[in-house]
Structure 1
């Protein structure tokens, strides 16, 4: 009978548990786990087979194992290359011992017919780059004489003869050639421009080559910059969605291109047919759709596909992309506006300081759902006061205060940070705009037409709460500290061109609101006015005795 498997031991007895574990392990590793009696005819898998006469067992036939091929432990190609290198090294050592002047960087001649005649793999243009780096260490120093520097640059240009575009793909050679262009004489600069002629677009799309193009834009002559702009013309759509190409395009757009050339670059985004019409006079989508309404669906689809791709790559910071996105959000339908706003919500804090970026940010706040609006406002945490002091970002805060329905979120994200810096913001040219946006919404006395155009139409968007209700809820938080500020600093606010507007609107809003008492503000303002009047008449506040003495002296002077 097979032995019974012992029952599980108590887990609280460590010695018993260890013995039980060892016993189980022994049973698992045993060749006879059932503890059968040793018999000649018994095996683990049954009885042995008998021979025909019943006297002997038949041996089990063993399967013959097929011999396996030897596993290659080294790559044959690598082994061959290693043998070639060793042979070349041996031949060079022998030649050096015999007094030969053969270079160590050149393999043995193919005419010998030996194994060392096969050239081994070296870095492309490695010798030329090495020569240029040695020259670069000397030519970039300020103490190097001009004549020696010119000779060193000629050496670099000679080493890169016919391989300029190829070596500009290397990080070290690209730096050398940037120094050569920046420090070279007019003839050497012209030689460099001749060698890259027709290859500017390829270099602009290169990881290291685009730095050379940007070096020309920063330090080049007007003629060289015009050549770059001419070669980039017609390739705007290819460059605007490329990480390196967009950097080159941004620099050319801001530093080189004229207003007419900028409009031509912008028209390339509309489509290939507009890129071919170089004499077109349209500068915005509004003008285009007014002259050709049938082109609106096609142009909007083209711009949405191109610019959304650039935005997803994080390239929404370039001026050309921002200009296109701002116009697209203005003229697109509701579905396109919602899709673009959700794509651009992460970029709002980074682009709201530019004019077109502020237009995009206002549109994102207007056309996104409450969840995306919350994401945008949370991204501004800690930067509201700085944004309020910017000419364009302050308008974004004004739009947020008039379109976001969640007033609790507005109090925590925007109003609380405005109140923390209220004394300085109240007298600031741009910092006072978010405060005035609540006290006097879109009042033309404080908001210029250009600012109102950036903010967009009032009441448009996806907001559901009534604007008057939203404003009252926010004023309940803003007015008490604002009135205390006006009462304590009435004189300084009254003398400030922007603080006086805040003071006037605060007094007017406090007189209407029932929860705030405006009399302390008026009393402080009256006292400040009296003090200012006395200072203007007598040069400062005077006592009664001083007034009497001054009066007597004045009378004596008149009598005299």
Structure 2
């Protein structure tokens, strides 16, 4: 490049800079000192120069900017800076959120309407004001994090007419709202307060979308919520579209046909293979995502097992078992709470998220059946994983209706008694008194003392414990009879005996059931702790409706003499009951005497009939020479039990003192045991053909 060209280039650059400075308000080419502050980053000299160099009429835009800067003062104090920053953030929010002012007003009304110390009239006034502000914008508000909570509170406290108007406004958009993170809680609140017609319409609108919504993280919670609110027919309509393509496409088929899946297949003439394939495609994504803690999924899986072949049922069970020990990832959101309750909800939410899915599944009978199937058909290693995953949750399961049955299944099937003792039995020993007095907790102890007794377990409970997949059943017709939920009450004893036979050889277990009972009850020292608890609380347990059953089984030594090795503790318990019965009756005592109380008198009478050792101890300590006092009321049944005993030694001990009472008519003479059947036949009317 030539030297002249270099000079010309330099000159052109210089001229450009000069023109740039004049455009900013400079009067012409200045000295080099004017541009140095700008190059260093200092703006103050440049601003002063520009402000001085502006002339009236030299440019409208430059004059306006200068005028605005004169009006706005720079914030000097910290308070002014905070206010300026607040104004700037609010202006940005207004640009970003079109309903920012509305949300701010609604938040202020929300703080007023959700207070506890507010009258109903004032709250209804605030609710009406909020609904008037939201009128026409319900859909936009439903998806907002803050204003959706305001609308939920309004639905909770507003009138039925206002609630209906909100439902009608959101009615066309429900399928969209139930997939949104914040709007889903609003839909739940609307369903909780919906009328029968509104709930029926909502369930019908879900037809064709149930399977896809169950796979959705947010939408699945709404389907489960509706499933709990629905009646039997509505639940069946939600389930049926998961069975086959025809039921998913044609809505009339779901309304006309209800019942078990096997019955529906026979009524409609569906192909079993196609139904099985459709259900497999529906259930497989749910298992892959771990969505197995919903009642509707439990029911669908149980129906699937009724038609599944051996390989399909085994595959589903093998997929279920790893999920049982995983921590729950499904969030259990509820309506917005006040500040005092918010911390409690957060704590309970953390506890629920830390629970394994097996614990969360125990809120339905079908969930219990799935857990029992996994324990029955799992390998020894898989059972150990399941038991280890329950550590820390034994208390919750023990006092639960279905959780206690799951623990009974574990006590009856798992062969690793050392692991069960460490995880389950040691935890039960810490709360023995609570277990004995609890309706559900006592069943664990009674299962070890007297397994599968129909006095303590209902027919439905026995059916759950003996439930099995038809294609995986190995017991033949007896196990199918035990798993039948609709057994006649007239054949209740026969079915209970059949269940006892089948549970002696549980599926997948190799250890002798009597040996397992002895290791869990005696070797683990649970029986000794149980004796101590019964002796220390003998009066309370005898008078309790549930505790009397446990103390009776402990006092007689359990079924098949499982507590024979603890004869000293048994005698001590007999003496404790006899000593309590020997306490003289006084009118000043607040509690009823054990011989006159309804529950305790019948328990003592039963002990006299079934335990000769107890009968001898009670007679010697409490009743000998005092039968005249106890010959009336509930206590008379205790006295008469000595004459009804099948043991001749017991009858001979009390005969001399009780026979005069019988002769005087104070005591009713007992019928001979061998004459009871003949007496019943004599009293029955004869019918001639």
- 1:412-434, Cα deviation, whole Å (9 max, x unpaired): 11111122222331232211111
Residues 266-277 of structure 1 aligned to structure 2 (within 5 Å): 266-275=239-248, 276=250, 277=253
Give 1:423's match in structure 2, choosing from 433, 437, 440: 433
- 1:347-369, Cα deviation, whole Å (9 max, x unpaired): 11222243222222212211222
Equivalent residue number for residue 278 of structure 2? 302
The reply on whether 1:157 has 2:157 as its aligned counterpart is no
The reply on whether 1:404 has 2:414 as its aligned counterpart is yes
Which moved further from structure 2: 328-337 or 266-275?
A: 328-337
Equivalent residue number for residue 261 of structure 1? 234
- 1:106-134, Cα deviation, whole Å (9 max, x unpaired): xxxxxxxxxxxxxxxx9999564124214
CA contact (8 A) 1:491 1:525 kept: no
Residues 393-472 of structure 1 aligned to structure 2 (within 5 Å): 393-457=403-467, 458=503, 459-472=505-518
Consecutive unaligned residues in structure 1, runs of 5 or more: 1-89, 99-121, 542-546, 552-560
Aligned equivalents of 1:236 and 1:230: distance in 2?
11
Name the structure where helix makes up a greater proportion of residues: 2
Aligned equivalents of 1:145 and 1:510: distance in 2?
63
Q: How many residues align?
A: 426
Equivalent residue number for residue 234 of structure 1? 208
- 1:426-446, Cα deviation, whole Å (9 max, x unpaired): 232211111111221111121
CA contact (8 A) 2:167 2:190 kept: no
Distance 1:417-1:193 versus aligned 2 partners, 3 A rule: closer
Distance 1:539-1:366 versus aligned 2 partners, 3 A rule: same
Equivalent residue number for residue 521 of structure 1? 570
CA contact (8 A) 1:439 1:509 kept: yes
Give 2:317's match in structure 1, choosing from 338, 342, 352: 338
Aligned equivalents of 2:61 and 2:124: distance in 1?
43
CA contact (8 A) 1:198 1:231 kept: no
Distance 1:198-1:362 versus aligned 2 partners, 3 A rule: same
The reply on whether 1:244 has 2:218 as its aligned counterpart is yes
Equivalent residue number for residue 530 of structure 2? 482
CA contact (8 A) 1:341 1:367 kept: no
- Greater Rg by CA: 1
CA apart distance, 1:392:
1.2
- 1:281-317, Cα deviation, whole Å (9 max, x unpaired): 4333354467679744443443344334324434322
- 1:23-47, Cα deviation, whole Å (9 max, x unpaired): xxxxxxxxxxxxxxxxxxxxxxxxx
Normalising by structure 1, report the TM-score: 0.66
Equivalent residue number for residue 215 of structure 1? 189
Give 2:519's match in structure 1, choosing from 462, 473, 476: 473
CA contact (8 A) 1:329 1:363 kept: no
Residues 380-399 of structure 1 aligned to structure 2 (within 5 Å): 380-399=390-409
Aligned equivalents of 1:188 and 1:309: distance in 2?
40
Consecutive unaligned residues in structure 2, runs of 5 or more: 1-59, 69-91, 326-356, 468-502, 594-624, 630-689
Give 1:367's match in structure 2, choosing from 369, 373, 377: 377
Superposed CA RMSD in Å reads: 3.8
Normalising by structure 2, report the TM-score: 0.54
